[in-house]
Amino acid sequence: MTRRVYDNTRRAEQARLTRRRILDAARELLVERGPAAVTMRDVATGAGVSVETVYKTFRTKAALIKDVYDVTLAGDDEPIPMINRPEIRAVFAAATPRDKVARYAFAARRVGERVGPLLAKLLAGARGGDPDLLRFRETINQERMAGAGGIVRHLAATGGLRADVDPDRACDILWTLISPEVYELLVADRGWSPEEYEQWLARSLTDALLAR
């Protein structure tokens, strides 16, 4: 390895570690205080970097929040789309429609566990009328619909989707049942365990979507 390549590799790794520290600090502050009470300077202090570094890395607070959400959703900062991650690949690899739905319910539970506390604060900010957080909510709703569409198409292609359920309606049902608001209502507000949520979701999806 040449000196130049070594230096470039080291700088890239240092940049990634700095980005990770900023994301970790931002997540902790957002969950603790809520987005309205967190500034870029707060995040810089928490991460042990300059505020200029935070702006250089993420440009805006809205972009920082979205990246915090994306990394929390995935569970790490690897550039791997959700559809290619093990929890979702297991859905496509499962042998029967019931197994596919059960594995999907498990994946949805894991997502809820990871993002629940953070997303509760972000969605509360959206309900308060913050325009950046309103756009954030719309973006994640669209992303969730795209993911639901992929699962519904897979069920239809493998013969698992009920014949009397229109695929678009099936997407709406799935999109609603896996919404963070439903997870928050059942787990945070009603005191269900994540395991109970997973079991309920699997039963609900089976009843609503799968062929008899």
For residue 210, the SS3 value is strand
User: 151 exposed, middle or buried (CB, 10 Å; 0-12, 13-18, 19+)?
Assistant: buried
Asked if 91 and 5 sit in the same domain, the reply is no
Q: Is the pLDDT higher at 12 or at 207?
A: 207
**Is the residue at 194 inside a domain?**
yes
**Is the residue at 148 inside a domain?**
yes
Asked if 121 and 159 sit in the same domain, the reply is yes
**Is the residue at 74 inside a domain?**
no
Asked if 19 and 113 sit in the same domain, the reply is no
Q: Give the separation between CA 140 and CA 15, rounded to whole angstroms.
A: 27
- Structurally, how many domains does the chain consist of? 2
Q: Give the separation between CA 119 and CA 8, rounded to whole angstroms.
A: 36
Q: What percent of the chain has pLDDT over 70?
A: 96
pLDDT of residue 1: 55
Asked if 48 and 145 sit in the same domain, the reply is no
Nearest Cα to 204, choosing from 105, 66, 82, 97? 105
3 state SS for 121-152: HHHHHHHCCCHHHHHHHHHHHHHHHHHHHHHH
**Is the residue at 66 inside a domain?**
no
**Is the residue at 71 inside a domain?**
no
Asked if 46 and 111 sit in the same domain, the reply is no
What tokens were used for 125? 């900010």
Asked if 97 and 161 sit in the same domain, the reply is yes
Indicate which CATH number applies to the domain containing 126: 1.10.357
Range of the domain at 44: 1-60
| pLDDT classification of 6: cutoffs 50, 70, 90 | low
Indicate which CATH number applies to the domain containing 54: 1.10.10.60
Asked if 120 and 197 sit in the same domain, the reply is yes
pLDDT of residue 41: 97
Asked if 87 and 186 sit in the same domain, the reply is yes
Reported as half-sphere exposure (CB side, CA atoms, 13 A), residue 43 has a value of 30
Asked if 108 and 144 sit in the same domain, the reply is yes
Asked if 188 and 150 sit in the same domain, the reply is yes
What tokens were used for 81? 């789309």
**Is the residue at 75 inside a domain?**
no
Rounded (to 5) percent helix, strand, coil in the chain: 80, 0, 20
- Across the chain, what does the average pLDDT equal? 94
**Is the residue at 149 inside a domain?**
yes
pLDDT of residue 212: 80
For residues 72-101, average pLDDT: 93
Asked if 53 and 90 sit in the same domain, the reply is no
* Boundary-marking domain end, from 60, 92, 110: 60
User: 155 exposed, middle or buried (CB, 10 Å; 0-12, 13-18, 19+)?
Assistant: buried
* Boundary-marking domain end, from 11, 29, 60: 60
**Is the residue at 65 inside a domain?**
no
Nearest Cα to 140, choosing from 155, 118, 156? 118
- For residue 2, is pLDDT > 80? no
Q: At what angle do helices 3-33 and 51-58 cross, to 10 degrees?
A: 100
Cβ of 30: how many Cβ atoms within 10 Å? Answer: 25
CA gyration radius, the chain:
20
Asked if 98 and 196 sit in the same domain, the reply is yes
Nearest Cα to 151, choosing from 195, 89, 78? 89
